[in-house]
Amino acid sequence: MTVTQETRGRILVVRVEREHKRNAIDVDTAQGIDVALNRLEDDPALWVGVLTGTQTVFSAGTDLKDGADARTERGGEYGLIRRSRVKPLIAAVEGVAFGGGFEIALACDLIVASTTARFALPETRRGVVATSGALFRAVRALPLHVAKELLITGAELGAERGYHFGLVNRLTEPGQALADAVALAEQICASSPVSVRATLAAISAQAEEQDRSGWQATAQAIQTVSASPDMEEGIAAFFERRSPEWRGG
Q: Which residues are catalytic?
A: 103, 123
65 φ/ψ angles, rounded to the nearest 5 degrees: -90, -40
**Angstrom distance (rounded) from CA 101 to CA 98:** 5
Residue type, 102: F
Distance (Å, rounded) from C-alpha 243 to C-alpha 234?
Answer: 8
Return the sign of the alpha-carbon dihedral for residues 33, 38, 39, 45.
Answer: positive
b/e sequence 170-194, b meaning 16+ C-beta within 10 Å: bbbeeebbbebbbebbeebbeeebe
Rounded to an integer, what distance in angstroms lies between the CA atom of residue 99 and that of residue 132? 9
